[in-house]
Amino acid sequence: MAAAEDSRPFAGLSDVSISEDIPVEGDISVPVGSSRRDDELSTLDEPVKETILRDLRAVGNKFVHVLYPKRSSALLRDWDLWGPLLLCVTLALLLQGGAADSDDQGGPQFAEVFVIIWFGSIIITLNSKLLGGTISFFQSLCVLGYCIMPLTVAMAVCRLVLLGGTGMVSFAVRLAVVTASFGWSTFASTAFLTDSQPPNRKALVVYPVFLFYFVIGWMVLTFSPSQ
């Protein structure tokens, strides 16, 4: 009889029941969000059309941030250089065909505009880093490049105004447009850059930015079409 009981050592476990009053700790969850994020980050299988549209939407969102500047890290976090390159090329093309070019008076050529914009942006970025700024090199280039947009729009408006003549009224309108665009570019760029600088050195960062956009604004204002 003892041998029979030893052969079934776990026979009594079938009668054991777990009380419902005993709390069960822990939970089981399926990481749906993480897989979704992985799908969003993976663009290897994404069609080229969707990639281009996604990049264009990102560039458009950054243009909106420049039009309505606020203390946000969105422009710094998702930086790119496509928008600055597009604005630089557009501005350089709009500055072509001036009277200074045709008379060989040292007017801004396409390459000169390109060098002034990118070299100036690099100098301002290095100045920001040397003053202890926490912004990265390419983030600064992104901000300075995107904030050229008001001056690029001003150049397009000035070309339209110059179609009606080059009198005092035309100059007054162009002066007002360029001044407003210069102020908007400076304000937008400083709104993104000043928070990354030490409090006692913000003026040393704003001053080169002021000169940078002033030079571009001066090129826009002094442009006159060739006869």
Task: Select from 112, 114, 108 the least CA-distant residue to 95.
Answer: 108
Please check whether residue 197 is in contact with residue 133, taking contact to mean a CB–CB distance below 8 angstroms. yes
Q: What is the pLDDT of residue 108?
A: 58
Q: How many domains does the chain have?
A: 1
Q: What is the pLDDT of residue 20?
A: 54
Burial letters for 185-220: b for 16+ Cβ neighbours within 10 Å, e otherwise?
A: bbebbbbbbbebbeeeebeebbebbeebbeebbebb
Q: Which residues of the chain carry a pLDDT beneath 70?
A: 1-44, 70-76, 97-108, 226-227
Confirm whether 39 is domain-assigned: no
Confirm whether 179 is domain-assigned: yes
Q: Is 4 exposed, middle or buried (0-12, 13-18, 19+ CB in 10 A)?
A: exposed
DSSP reduced 3-state for 8? coil
Q: What is the pLDDT of residue 14?
A: 53
- Residue 104 region by backbone torsions, left for phi larger than 0, else alpha for psi between -120 and 50, else beta: left
Confirm whether 78 is domain-assigned: no
Confirm whether 102 is domain-assigned: no
Q: What is the pLDDT of residue 177?
A: 95
Task: Select from 68, 82, 95 the least CA-distant residue to 221.
Answer: 95
pLDDT in tens, 22-46: 554 545 444 444 444 454 555 667 7
The model's pTM is 0.71
Q: What sign has the CA pseudo-torsion 132, 137, 142, 144?
A: positive
Chain-centroid distance of CA 224 in Å reads 31
Confirm whether 48 is domain-assigned: no
| Distance from C-alpha of 11 to C-alpha of 225, rounded to nearest angstrom | 102
Question: Inter-axis angle of helices 110-130 and 82-94, to 10 degrees?
Answer: 140
Please check whether residue 122 is in contact with residue 135, taking contact to mean a CB–CB distance below 8 angstroms. no
Going from the C-alpha of 179 to that of each of 21, 49, 116, 132, the distances in angstroms are: 76, 39, 20, 31
Q: What is the DSSP letter of 24?
A: -
DSSP string, 166-180: -SHHHHHHHHHHHHH
Domain hosting residue 111, numbered range = 107-226
Q: What is the pLDDT of residue 196?
A: 75
Please check whether residue 124 is in contact with residue 115, taking contact to mean a CB–CB distance below 8 angstroms. no
Q: What is the DSSP letter of 81?
A: S
Confirm whether 156 is domain-assigned: yes
pLDDT in tens, 196-210: 777 788 788 888 899
Confirm whether 173 is domain-assigned: yes
Q: What is the pLDDT of residue 149?
A: 92
| Distance from C-alpha of 88 to C-alpha of 85, rounded to nearest angstrom | 5
What six digits make up the tokens of 15? 């009668």
Confirm whether 177 is domain-assigned: yes
